[in-house]
Chains A and B, each alone.
Chain A
């Protein structure tokens, strides 16, 4: 099975003389795997996500994402890779406040032409239906509840069938009921599409939804 993420001897610090924020010997995630990444704050969680999404570049070692070594790519190539093949969900405020639900969902396809090989408007409609957002399609996103907003964010991450989805604490702002609903929805979609899912959270209770769990404090030997 091909690997989705392969980190080897990856080191990163924000400036030359400051302490190492990331120091990971080995991290491998297979394609199509769903992984729970346990990351309490202060263990380089955001930095690791920025590295794998290609926003930051490792100082040394290898960061291979979807078959490409990010450390050997230019910033714009990495931006393209992210736009084209990775879906990203934030913990809260995922949406551009001045766009409607549908406009938010199709935004990745507008930024990156290669994101969708067929009509993304139709794809957006399908996602809207399958995530139960039909009645909100043309509403401004600020009219939606937090739970609904996270569903829109999921739809946006899913459009164009990205090979990998990174979810950065997507449920931390949700209550228990909404969290359960969101997790069930995410699992259902994963079951259908089999993308690589990296789910980052400090809430260990969510571990049960996943096949594999990685603890960031255990693999990251930062200073």
Chain B
């Protein structure tokens, strides 16, 4: 009976009911949408690098080490010796290492010198691997592989020659034009800082600085024999990533590295540092959360307003229902039912439009903000949020319901015109 009357009564007030549902739906969409983007941004950020247990570099700021190794931002003050790297690499607890050597740029994009371990072991966003879109990994001294964004921006193709510049600024005066590189591959897009890197071999990094021992090119011709890979001696690195065989060993290994005697080096746990860093810049997400909460509140208020204003014009209706044997409780539940129905429809419509919107903005967010948003079913937290919204929205009907209940007690079978 109550279902039937609720349905009919809502249909009778189609337009206001629709507006009510719409405002709930909009706020649900906004709330869940912002939640998704918030989580997507955080996950995208904290999963920029995964599986790596430690990042090792010269002693200095731990944030700095994280920024230049993973995000290609800023630079290292000191390098570390190759012997140190070899020593730690030999440690029986180490599963793999990825050496990184930085310092040069290509038109503002960082040049990252590394070895084949990077392509084999580097992981991001869980278990995602660096893949080649076309071409192959760099093998020879002057081979280079471009991150997808670099290739896209300058419309480079495999086989193109490029000249790297010395130092990190985009308008470098000094360039390595006597040692041109050849593009051998382009990486698939990852929506991580990998896309903005230019990858060469460690030998390539060393070779392009031959004759630069004083800091500027000497201008002397270099014996081509020296450029042969096997003849190049690597002496230093900027940092390196370490994966241990057992996670339990991470903290001890970190302590050992921090106390390494031969050279002042340090280690950070990337997952931890990323989390810390997100927390310092994450206040924006708190604000977003609060704003969406307020929007939700306005949506719920609309139910209250719409039902409350309808109460007086429905006084007659309530007296009629009472005369037909309905109790005051019936009258009360009739309004509670209406509010719960409205908020339920609002939630359903809101979730649907959230998915619709997500589908539309996803490519754009991924391309511009590295926010990776998989279209997944509602998470447990989201169900809980929806549950809370439903309860609060239903409770918004409480005030009109109490009012109607009191009216019906007072009016009895007397019809107020």
Contacts and interface: CB of A to CB of B under 8 A. Distances in A.
Interface of A: 46, 49-50, 53, 55-56, 75-76, 79-80, 82-84, 88, 90-99, 103, 107-108, 110-112, 115, 156, 168
Given A46-B413, A93-B417, A156-B324, 9 more contacts: A50-B414, A75-B328, A82-B325, A88-B413, A90-B413, A93-B415, A97-B12, A111-B321, A112-B324
A53 B414 contact: no
A9 B5 CA distance: 40
13 contacts: A46-B412, A50-B413, A82-B323, A88-B324, A90-B323, A92-B417, A94-B320, A96-B5, A96-B317, A96-B321, A107-B324, A108-B325, A112-B324
Contacts of B323: 53, 82, 88, 90
Given A50-B414, A83-B325, A98 B320 contact: no
Nearest to A113: B1
B11 interface: yes
B12 A75 contact: no
Nearest to A78: B327
Nearest to A95: B320
Contacts of B8: 96, 98-99, 103
B4 A55 contact: no
A115 B325 contact: yes
Given A46-B413, A96-B317, A97-B12, A55 B322 contact: yes
Interface residues of B, number: 26
Contacts of A80: 325
- Pick the most buried of B12, B322, B413, B415: most chain A CB atoms within 10 A of its CB: B413
Interface in B307-342: 316-317, 319-330
Interface of B: 1, 4-5, 8-9, 11-12, 316-317, 319-330, 412-415, 417
Contacts of A46: 412-414
A75 B9 contact: no
- Pick the most buried of A80, A107, A156: most chain B CB atoms within 10 A of its CB: A107
Contacts of B11: 98
Contacts of B412: 46, 50, 55-56
A75 B327 contact: yes
Contact of B1 (A55, A91, A111): A111
Contact of A111 (B317, B319, B330, B414): B330
A80 B322 CA distance: 11
B8 to A, nearest CB: 5
Nearest to A50: B412
A-B pairs, top 7 by smallest CB distance, nearest first, are A83-B325, A98-B12, A88-B323, A55-B412, A79-B327, A50-B412, A110-B1
Contacts of B319: 90
A110 B323 CA distance: 13
A79 B326 contact: yes
A96 B7 CA distance: 13
B320 A90 contact: yes
Contacts of A103: 8
Contacts of B329: 76
Nearest to B9: A98
B325 to A, nearest CB: 2
A108 B5 CA distance: 12
Contacts of A98: 8-9, 11-12
A9 to B, nearest CB: 22
Nearest to B317: A96
Given A96-B317, A96-B320, A97-B317, A84 B413 contact: no
